[in-house]
Structure 1
Amino acid sequence: MNTTDGKYVPSGDLRLWTERFGDPDDPAVLLVMGTSAPGAGWPDELVETLVSGGRQVIRFDHRDTGRSTCLDFATHPYTLADMAADAVAVLDGFGVTSAHVVGASLGGAIGQWLAVHRPELVPTLTVIMSGPMGHSAGPAWARALTGQEPDPDDLPPPAPTFLRHLAQLAGKPPTTREEHIAASLATWRTLNGDALPFDEQAARRFVEAAYDQADRPASAANHDLAARQMTEDRLVPLSSIKAPTLVLHGSEDPLRPPPHGRAVAAQIPGAHLRTVPGMGHGFFSPGLPRRIAELILEHTTSRTGR
């Protein structure tokens, strides 16, 4: 796949690696990846399908991932709002005044933040495998990890299969490159679930590139620290979102079970929920990237006429 424009853009003191595909005169789609993942987490097939559908597509490496600046979180802590400001800086770097925002997982929360606080930038919003930006998952995780029953008034914790996987990783943390690659591959396999085939070759290419391109691969874990900070700006009701919103959620998501997606859709006026059969928490299944891209094209076309 040919990159129309690949470059660094500034976000404050940081440098963010960005890529733009397609015709710059076409409506823009900004792809915002999830926790600890660089922009290439958006598969080329998904990007190509959007470009073929008449979109210019922008994806970027979050701070602490890929070719973008890595930070010491202890001395330079940041929040979801700071990561949202990075996304705005990416648009500014390409002279784009608004873009259909598509966010996956943590990127979905960033998309919600933009739709709430910078609505002029977001003609449509697509939230994929995410939860409400104002919901703290900490209590549900704590109950699950200590063997307590879930709180019926809270959103559910991750599936036991994923929690067991995390426990195995904690018992033997990776130290070498090969161990890190193997651990990341096992994580994506677990997140994919068993309902759809797992494209191991595509996942391996991604995790190897993500590890090798980062100055400090361990810095990607800083996203978890940022996501846990439930700042006041995250507590603004999602009912204030005016952008037409599509919520895509996998029926077999082991990290954020389907009630998380339903909660997002319930809180945003007029949001449309589409459950993707068999999908887990990721795009590493043959044909799935194209299917997701087609749903994004359908949403952005039906809501804007382009």
Structure 2
Amino acid sequence: MTGTSGERLHTVNGVELCVETFGDRTDPAVLLVAGSSASMLWWDARLCERIAAGGRYVVRYDHRDTGRSTASPPGAPTYSYTDLARDALGIQDVLGIERAHLVCQSMFGGIGLILGVDYPERVASLTFVSTSTGADDLPPPSSDLKMPDEPDTSDTAAVVRYVVASAKACAGGHFDEPAMRALAERDVARARNYASTLVNHYVIDVEGLVRGGFGDIAAPTLVVHGDRDPLLPLPHGEALRDAIPGADLLVLEGAGHDVPEPVWDAFVSALLHHTRRNVRRERRAATGARSRSE
């Protein structure tokens, strides 16, 4: 089946999560995991369609406390970081995806870490976008980074202005303000509780890994990082590449903390190459296993 599924609510781990798919469900699955406070909309639908056109079954979804998914009261999330990681597995389950190519952004690169280390059988490959090892010796955010003051969440227009200003502050050399304003307006309008969106991911409990750290990731890994990221400067991406055995690094020229449209060609090409290479490896391994069992 090809095309876009449209948004659907699924019950996953006892909560409702909003999920949308693109492409043919028989193609290798790419699960897009947005960063903190980001709904599925932050993976642009046109970008999803371009990845799907390369022969991938693309899945994007709203985390808890974003978009149309279940919301907790502001400042009082009823879940942990590990629960968010298990939500990704739950989405794979409801869609019948045994192994997915995970693409995890920013703070929720940690979801890829948890799944890659503690649930390696469910991960075909990993791609980390604008994330970090969190090591103490890495550089702080740029001195030029000026984040806006938090808005009055009862004032929708103020919230939209805040989201646009925050995105602009974290952008590098590419920023389309009208497009970002349209995204922010839609994101705020479709959220169950945007006050929860703005705060809850930053106050959740973070548990330790069961089996290790970045050095224990066995899945083929691609690290993607903007060379003008003011929040996590490029050395964060380089350190992540160095921490994961065999990882590759794609530097997006002119990009900040996001994946703006001017770098989509480079990003999509690298992602398709990364997942294609590992699809072939899996098929060879499966063929070899069948031959040995005959």
TM-score normalized with structure 1 length: 0.85
Counterpart in 2 of 1:161? 144
1:57–1:253 CA distance, 2 compared to 1 (3 A): same
Following TM superposition, by how much is the alpha carbon of 1:288 offset from its aligned partner in structure 2, in angstroms? Answer: 2.4
Secondary structure in structure 2 of the residue aligned to 1:215: coil
Q: Is the 8 A contact 1:27 1:54 kept in 2?
A: yes
| Distance change in 2, residues 1:245/1:82 (3 Å) | same
Give the whole-Å Cα distance in 1 for the aligned partners of 2:76 and 2:185.
Answer: 28
Q: Which stretch of the first structure deviates more once superposed, 66-75 or 81-90? A: 66-75
* Per-residue deviation, 1:276: 1.2
2:194 maps to amino acid: P
Tell me the residue number matched to 2:226: 250
CA distance in 2, matches of 1:296, 1:26: 15
- Equivalent residue number for residue 281 of structure 1: 257
Equivalent of residue 299 in structure 1, options 274, 289, 294: 274
- Among 198, 201, 217, the residue aligned to 2:194: 217
Partner of 1:188: 167
SS of structure 2 residue aligned to 1:289:
helix
Find the aligned partners of 2:143 and 2:210 in 1 and give their Cα distance.
28
Q: Secondary structure at the match of 1:246?
A: strand
Report the counterpart of residue 155 of structure 2 in structure 1: 176
Whichever residue aligns with residue 177 of structure 1, its letter is T
Report the CA distance shift for 1:17/1:274 in structure 2 as closer, same or farther (over 3 A). Answer: same
Amino acid at match of 2:65: D
1:264 is displaced (CA, Å) by 1.3
How far residue 274 of structure 1 moved from its aligned partner, in angstroms, is 1.5
Q: Is the 8 A contact 2:9 2:19 kept in 1?
A: yes
Query: 1:130-181: per-residue Cα shift (whole Å, max 9, x none)?
Result: 012xx37xxxxxxxxxxxxxxxx5222211232x324xx15x6564111110
SS at match of 1:161: coil
- Match in the other structure for 1:50: 51
Equivalent position amino acid for 2:228 in 1: E
Task: Provide the rounded CA distance (Å) in 2 between the counterparts of 1:110 and 1:289.
Answer: 23
- For 1:46 and 1:253, locate their aligned partners in 2 and report how far apart those are by CA, in whole Å: 20
* 8 Å Cα contact 2:227/2:252 also seen in 1: yes
Matches within 5 A, 1:70-149: 70-72=71-73, 76-132=77-133, 135=134
What's the CA shift for 1:287? 2.6
Equivalents in 2 of 1:303, 1:117: separation in Å? 20
Q: How far, CA to CA, are the matches of 2:210 and 2:253 in structure 1?
A: 30
Contact 2:125 2:220 (C-alpha < 8 Å) held by counterparts: yes
Distance verdict in 2 for CA 1:230–1:188, change over 3 Å: same
The 8 Å contact of residues 105 and 130 in structure 2, kept in 1 or not, is answered as yes
Does structure 1 retain, via aligned residues, the 8 Å contact 2:252–2:263?
Answer: no
| TM-score (norm. length: structure 2) | 0.88
**Does the CA-based 8 Å contact 1:39-1:60 persist in structure 2?**
yes
Q: Percent identity?
A: 36
Unaligned runs of 5+ in 1: 137-152
Please say if 1:199 is aligned against 2:176.
yes
In structure 2, the CA distance between the partners of 1:23 and 1:182, relative to structure 1 (3 Å rule), is: same
Distance 1:81 1:191 in 2: 26
* Per-residue CA distance 1:273-306 (angstroms, 9 max, x = gap): 12111110113x3332343222111111123228
Distance 1:75 1:47, change over 3 A: closer
Distance 1:51 1:165 in 2: 34
Distance 1:279 1:269, change over 3 A: same
Tell me, what secondary structure is at the counterpart of 1:160? coil
Q: Which shows bigger deviation, 102-111 or 211-220?
A: 102-111
